[in-house]
Structure 1
Amino acid sequence: MRARLWLVAALIAPTLHASELVYRPVNPSFGGNPLNSSHLLGTANAQNDYKDPASGSGSSGTSALDRLTSNLQSRLISQLLADIGKDGSQSGSLVTDDFAINVVDEDGTLVVSITDRVTNQTTMIEVNGLIAD
């Protein structure tokens, strides 16, 4: 009975065809489809839990108040330099917590003296020909 059952099952069963397995790389670095690169990078980044200790907290390290102070100082310096030469004025100064700036006209040469109030280092910038006589 068993032999007959096996014989009927073998005759009824369809014939099977097999082909060889072909490897297709997925990663575009190894010959795979270049359209997979963004997906693979996103997957790798999602799995990456390593935090670089040198990067710190990921912020630039300056607070909003520091950035506001820096922008305000930059704006004041710009205004000081723009005002030089108006109304016959050839000099001006600006003093903040960090530095002191003096702008003076010495015989047609514009001299800008910048003093760091923390270290007391002074930088002199001399420019000829900017001030019309």
Structure 2
Amino acid sequence: MRMTSNTLRAAALVLGCAALAGPGAATELVYYPLNPSFGGNPLNGTVLLNSAIATNRHTDPDAGRDDIGIESKTPLQSFNDTLERSILSRLAASVSSQILGDDGKFHPGTIQTDSFTITVTDIGNGLLKITTIDKTTGAITEFQVNS
């Protein structure tokens, strides 16, 4: 049987690899968390967040809507909102002064404004029920307080 040069080269390569292979060594596998939410290094948080933002292909269908009140307002809009809150605060103080007696306690009765009906009812055991009805929408708000 005669060996060709390609066969001899292949055999020499196999024998050389076998001779160079030393004893196998294995180590224990150790898990190190990467995400800081699961115990990883807190410095990885920014990298992971930026990676997630960069690969995010989803768009918010409600991006143009403002259901939660976060929007950029002009200075005039901010002023009008502040003015409206101030007027409502004074109105609430005026109404509460009509409901409160000289002793600082609430007294049963009804107060009518253009937009609201406010009723204070004694429900016993030292409790008063305050009912506010919005005349334009019909919305009703009730809560109880100690007299």
> Relative contact order (C-alpha < 8 Å, sep 6+): which is higher?
1
| TM-score bracket for this pair, using the shorter chain length | 0.3 to 0.5
Q: TM-score, normalised by structure 1?
A: 0.41
Q: TM-score, normalised by structure 2?
A: 0.39
